[in-house]
Amino acid sequence: MAQQDAQNGAATENSSPTLSFLAFKPQLFVEALKANDAVLFYKNAFAAEEVSRTLNPKRKADQETPLVLSADLKIAGSSFVVATVDDPASLVKNGGNGVVFSLEAEDIEAAIAKAVSAGAVAEGEVVEFEGAYGGRRVGKVTDPYGYVWQISTPVKKSADVEV
Instruction: Indicate which single residue of 96, 107, 138, 155 sits in contact with a copy of itself (rule: CB under 8 A).
Output: 96
Indicate whether 104 belongs to the interface with a copy of itself (CB under 8 A).
Answer: yes
Tell me the Cα Rg of the chain: 18
Task: Provide the 3-class DSSP secondary structure of residue 43.
Answer: helix
Instruction: Indicate which single residue of 2, 4, 7, 12 sits in contact with a copy of itself (rule: CB under 8 A).
Output: 12
Write out the E strands in 56-122. 68-75, 78-85, 99-105, 121-122
Please, which residues bridge with residue 104 across strands? 23, 152
Contact 102/23 with Cβ under 8 angstroms?
Answer: yes
Residues 50-89 binding a copy of itself (CB under 8 A) are 67, 75-80
- Where on the chain is the footprint of a copy of itself (CB under 8 A)? 6, 8-16, 19-26, 28, 30, 34, 36-47, 67, 75-80, 91, 95-99, 101, 103-104, 111, 114-115, 117-120, 141, 143-147, 149
